[in-house]
Structure 1
Amino acid sequence: MAGSAPSYALEVRDAGSGAGEKEEFSEGKCGFLMVALCPCLVVFIIILIVVSIVLMVMGCRSFSNVPNGNSETEDESDECGGVPEDDDECTESVDPKEVERVSKVIEDLFASDRNMEAVLDQCDVDLSHALVLAVLSRCRHAWKPSFRFFCWAGQKPDYAHDSRAYNSMMSILGKTRQFESMVVMLEEMGKKGLLTMETFVVAIRAFAAAREMKKAVGIFELMKRYDFKAGIDTFNCLLDGLARAKLGKEAQTLFEKMKDRFPPVLKTYSILLAGWCKVKNLLEAGKVWNEIVDKGLKPDIVAHNTMLEGLLMGKRRSEAIKLFELMKSKGPSPNVRSYTILIRDLCKGNKMEEAVGYFDEMLAAGCKPDAAVYTCLIVGFGNQKKMDTVYGLLKEMKEKGCPPDSRTYNALIKLMTNRNMPDDAAMIYKKMIQRGFEPTIHTYNMMMKSYFRSRKYSMGYAVWEEMGKKGICPDDNSYTVFIGGLISQGRPEEACKHIEEMINKGMKAPQLDYNKFVADFSRAGKPDILFELAQKMKFSGKFEVSNVFARWAEMMKKRVKIRNPDQTPQRRF
């Protein structure tokens, strides 16, 4: 290591190709951090480019009621594409109309506080595992109605939940941090003999994502009680959960404690490597790399790409390029992911000539480009307002049999919405549907937010309606955006109704502009609306909702006092 202050210049040893040979890459710095999505600035310019192209390629200017047109959509996107959506898919066939019917009953009756279960009993629902999984998937962001439906279905005489249904419900509870119910369900599965390895993985990941390390380890140790053998794969899952939750130090500590019990493999070290990179601890990441080599393991392409990404994120491009060249000469040979990592960084730095150089080199090396690497270049050139080049790349993608994927469309929509061009985002959305790609909830949230920001409220509501038609269950962010739009338009009563609905579903209270919310009611002659709502909810037995409104009321009261402090009387002499 070099010099004074903590230096991250470590001796990174490469396991060379010769027998027992170790190659030193002395200037390598092991700081790797998983590269994030292309920055928002990219959006700014690319949009201008795409807009023109999109207007040529797609003339559909409507969301639900916007006129259709003929244009071909130009596909530009963030390098990393859209936000992944974790839909639980079921391979069994299920009638979508039946899923829609059951889901509508749950949504309507749960919201109106009527006896949902009694109505479901009268609906003559033909329960199947596929139907239950589909309904849970649709309602996965709202744990309370999902859980009530799950309990109702489990009590039906001609139906019994299987492991998949239990795991799906556990995943919903885990992601909404209903840990007590999740653990009770795990124990119930144990009594019924329905536990699978996936059950433990779901629970471990849920606790790890919440940064509950001790509880995650507790689930791991619980496997023995149910005669499940905890092997290196499960241990790796535990470490991966901690690493993803930015608990790299805790993952390393656990690894040191249990490595004799679970002898590590290359994947184990790669997980630790990524974990240290996530918390930007380049020094510890370097130690893990060197331990890989010391143990006689040869870092594979995954480990090399992780290091390459980390060096670039650590602003050590020269070292990253040296590592990249070492990969070409010593192996493992760079793959399309390796080139994408490097090209993306160059595009972000507006070094497009170098980026194109590496792209050409990739083609010459026989690596087939994918949508992600093309998107990097599109974003980079878009950022430089080189619209002709962008259009040429989009055309080339289609000609080379590498059409835009769903991530590309989502990224393009993001570019449009960030530039406050929701109508153009709607065009891309329509083209996305035509091409057979399913939008994610993130897609709808982006468009809805953009319409509300542009004060096109009717179109924002149309997006909300479209979500319902497509069977997309609104998440916390969807509600927050929609309620914020209602408040902005001066429709506080409707906003209040959806706040209540949101909290009743078990979601967190939205972060909103409550000043505007209260001001609107004040103008309507209801200055104490939050206190009134708190009392109303309390008398209805909805204590959780009541507490939320009461808390907001107190916050507003304090703000008023701060703005208008009581003036102390002047002393008279």
Structure 2
Amino acid sequence: MRPLSFLRLLSVRRLSSTVVFPPTSVDPDLLLRLATVLYQHQQAPDATLHARLRTIPLPSSPPHLHELFLQVCNRFSSSWRPVHRFHLFLLRSFPSFADTPISASKVLWVYGLARNLDLLWRSFLDASASGLLSPGALCVAAAALADAREIKKCVEIFHHLSVDHESLCNVDTLNRVVQTICEKKRLPDVAKAVVWKVKPIVAPDEATYRFLVVGFCRAGDLVEASKVWNRMIDTGVEPDTESYEEFVVTMFKNNRFEDAMRLFKSMREQRYHDLGLESYRIVITWMCKEGRVMYASMLLGEMLKRGVEIDSPTLGALVYGLLARRKVKEGYKIFNNVATPDISLYHGLIKGLLRLRRAEEATQVFRVMIERGCEPIMHTYIMLLQGHLGKRGRKGRDPMINFDSIFVGGLVKAGKTLQATKYVERIMWSGVEVPRFDYNKFLHYFSNEEGVSMFEEVGKRLKDVGLFDLGDIFLNYGERMATRDRRRKAMSPCKIDI
């Protein structure tokens, strides 16, 4: 359809910003048939497509028609043409169909994923003229434009709001847009440019600066985060606790421990009453990783003095720090003083024992954890396997327990033949460093129904050659984790044929 006819249809669209339809069900067979026609005839002329669509018994009630259109948008989330042409067909052929803020936001979402920015911008202007704009639709449009680095268009959104929608042109809308760009798209530089350019229209507040600081910190850009931080202070806005915490974490990750501790001390001076469990846990965890257990213990005492409740992850980090410093008795003392330890405490104890090369004792803790009803996760098994086998896996002569062959078999079974070939070539060619054995991929490839029998067989073979701890780990994983497909099928709603 030509752009002129498209604009003509948009000009006669009904105003329906107040319409809210209740959720309704859609016939799956009808949706499948409709999606097939839209896909097969997306390049066909309008007359052919509309003739085929009229042969489909589409519902006539507005709620069902609206829900059907939303389901079509979900089905073609990254293909704009079927959604666009079906949308125009409904507007022309069904007087009962009317756009709502939800459908307008959904259309913008599809156009954004398909990177059709021209159609997205025209739809945005049309939704604005029809009174269908919502904060969610603004976030969808801004995220798509930011992903394409269309900073000028993002700024135009707020200029447009300041003229036609003053109720939406406020700092709350700006914060939602900035949060979407920083957290979902991870483009803090785009968000920063938008904030600086719309500052004459909407002044940023504490939350705006927080989203920018957190976004730059999570992107690892301490320089830009520092610039935003300094500008925030120059404007008289005091950084909140979350900004301090994210900055401290990023400094720890960049091995700037002294700077991180100076910033934490400044945080204690500026926001002493806002200092909570999360702030203490961050510093205690990183201090224990660095072996500075004495300072971590001092912070723990300060928490108790202030009445801040200590959680299991904090105690787990302290247990690991004590064991890493070879203070095993003190670590066990803290662990045993907890009435019902959770998986964080068990992980701290297991990780500390594995660092001391006490894999047998760590496996015994693993068995006790299961007996007490604490369910292990994937990270538990990966830690234990690395502790027993090393980071590069077992390279034994026995082909039954050689994890290279098991891993290659898992790659082939998962359809990753190219990766399997590259792995084998690196092993065969002498002088080429073999990559580290990826236990995460190994467990992931076999976490299905076929993996149940494989883990049972591997566990038995390991026990036959005297590796009882490893055998127990694999047998337990086969029983608990490899049946996730079966558990998902049991939890999903089943279709009953009558």
Shorter-normalised TM-score: what interval?
A: 0.5 to 0.7
Residue identity opposite 2:125 in structure 1? E
Q: Which moved more, 1:263-272 or 1:425-434?
A: 425-434
TM (norm. structure 2) is 0.53
Which of 100, 103, 113 matches 2:31?
Answer: 103
Q: List per-residue Cα deviations over 1:259-307 (Å, max 9, x = no partner).
A: 3543331112212312432453323423433444454443322212221
Residue 215 of structure 1, CA deviation: 1.9
2:484 is equivalent to residue 428 of structure 1: yes
Contact 2:155 2:198 in 1 (8 A): no
The one of 171, 181, 187 aligned to 1:232: 171
Q: CA RMSD in A?
A: 4.9
Asked if the contact 2:138/2:177 (under 8 Å) is kept, the reply is: no
Relative distance call for 1:198 and 1:417 in structure 2 (3 A) is: same
| Separation in structure 2 between the aligned mates of residue 369 and residue 224 of structure 1, nearest angstrom | 49
Seen in structure 2, the aligned counterparts of structure 1 residues 432 and 249 have a Cα distance that, compared at 3 Å, is same
* C-alpha distance in structure 2 between counterparts of 1:124 and 1:355, whole Å: 69
- The answer as to whether partners of 2:251 and 2:257 remain within 8 angstroms in 1 is yes
1:277 to 196, 217, 229: 217
| 1:161-195 CA distance string (max 9 Å, x none) | 21111111111211221111111212222343323
Shift of 1:417: 4.2
After TM superposition, the score normalised by the length of structure 1 is 0.47
Q: Distance in 2 between matches of 1:148 and 1:116?
A: 9
Deviations 1:205-253 (A, max 9, x none): 2111222212211222222343345222233344445545565455445
Q: What is the rounded CA distance, in whole Å, between the counterparts of 2:150 and 2:249 in structure 1?
A: 28
Tell me if structure 1 keeps the 8 A contact 2:58–2:65. Answer: no
> Looking at both structures, which has the greater relative contact order when contacts are Cα pairs under 8 Å and sequence separation is at least 6?
1
User: Residues 137-286 of structure 1: matches in 2 within 5 Å?
Assistant: 137-155=74-92, 156-229=94-167, 230-240=169-179, 243=182, 245=185, 247-249=187-189, 251-286=191-226
Q: 1:429 to 1:378 in 2, by over 3 A?
A: farther
Q: In 2, Cα distance between the equivalents of 1:303 and 1:316?
A: 17
Which residue does 1:94 correspond to in 2?
Answer: 24
SS of the residue corresponding to residue 157 of structure 1 reads coil
**1:366–1:186: structure 2 CA closer, same or farther, 3 Å change rule?**
same
Counterpart Cα distance in 1 of 2:21 and 2:109: 18
Residues 16-49 of structure 1: CA distance to partner in whole angstroms, max 9, x if unpaired? Answer: xxxxxxxxxxxxxxxxxxxxxxxxxxxxxxxxxx
1:122 partner SS: coil
Write out aligned runs for 1:442-481 (5 A).
none
Q: Deviations over 1:40-91 (max 9, x none)?
A: xxxxxxxxxxxxxxxxxxxxxxxxxxxxxxxxxxxxxxxxxxxxxxxxxx99
Gaps of 5+ in 1: 1-89, 409-413, 439-465, 470-573
One-letter amino acid of the structure 2 residue matched with residue 365 of structure 1: V
For the Cα contact (< 8 Å) 2:206–2:237, is it kept in 1?
yes
- Tell me if structure 1 keeps the 8 A contact 2:154–2:194: no
Alpha-carbon distance in structure 2 between the residues aligned to 1:191 and 1:227: 10
1:200–1:357 CA distance, 2 compared to 1 (3 A) = same
Which string of whole-angstrom CA distances, capped at 9 and with x for unpartnered residues, describes residues 512-536 of structure 1? xxxxxxxxxxxxxxxxxxxxxxxxx
Question: Secondary structure at the residue paired with 2:112?
Answer: helix
CA distance in 1, matches of 2:281, 2:130: 48
Q: 1:139 to 1:246 in 2, by over 3 A?
A: closer
How far residue 431 of structure 1 moved from its aligned partner, in angstroms, is: 3.2
- How far 1:416 sits from its partner (Å)? 5.3
> 1 or 2, which has the higher helix percentage?
2
Residue 331 of structure 1 pairs with residue 387 of structure 2: no
Shift of 1:318: 4.7
Name the structure 1 match of 2:248: 308
Q: How does 1:315-464 map to 2 (within 5 A)?
A: 315-321=255-261, 323-324=263-264, 330-331=271-272, 333-335=274-276, 337-338=278-279, 341=282, 365-366=308-309, 381=350, 384=354, 386-387=362-363, 389=365, 417-419=441-443, 420-423=445-448, 427-431=483-487
Q: 2:73: which partner in 1?
A: 136
In structure 1, distance between residues paired with 2:312 and 2:489: 24
Segment drifting more, 157-166 vs 415-424: 415-424
Paired residues of 1:235 and 1:262 also in contact (CA < 8 A) = yes
1:137 partner SS? helix
Match of 2:57 among 93, 106, 123: 123
Query: Partners of 2:156 and 2:111 in 1: how far apart?
Result: 18
Distance 1:222 1:236, change over 3 A: same
Alpha-carbon distance change, 100 to 430 in structure 1, aligned in 2, over 3 angstroms:
same
Aligned residues: 338
> What SS class does the counterpart of residue 184 from structure 1 fall into?
helix
- Greater mean alpha carbon deviation, residues 276-285 or residues 180-189: 276-285
Tell me how far apart the structure 1 counterparts of residues 266 and 236 of structure 2 sit (CA, whole Å).
Answer: 19
Question: Residue 197 of structure 1: CA displacement?
Answer: 3.4
Note if contact 1:301-1:332 (Cα within 8 Å) is conserved in structure 2: no
Of all paired residues, the percent bearing the same amino acid is 21
| Bigger Rg over Cα | 2
Q: Cα distance 1:332–1:322, how it changes in 2: closer, same or farther (>3 A)?
A: farther
SS of residue paired to 1:195:
coil
1:422 counterpart SS class: coil
Unpaired segments ≥5 residues, structure 2: 1-19, 43-47, 318-341, 381-437, 452-480
Q: Secondary structure, in 3 states, of the residue corresponding to 2:483?
A: helix
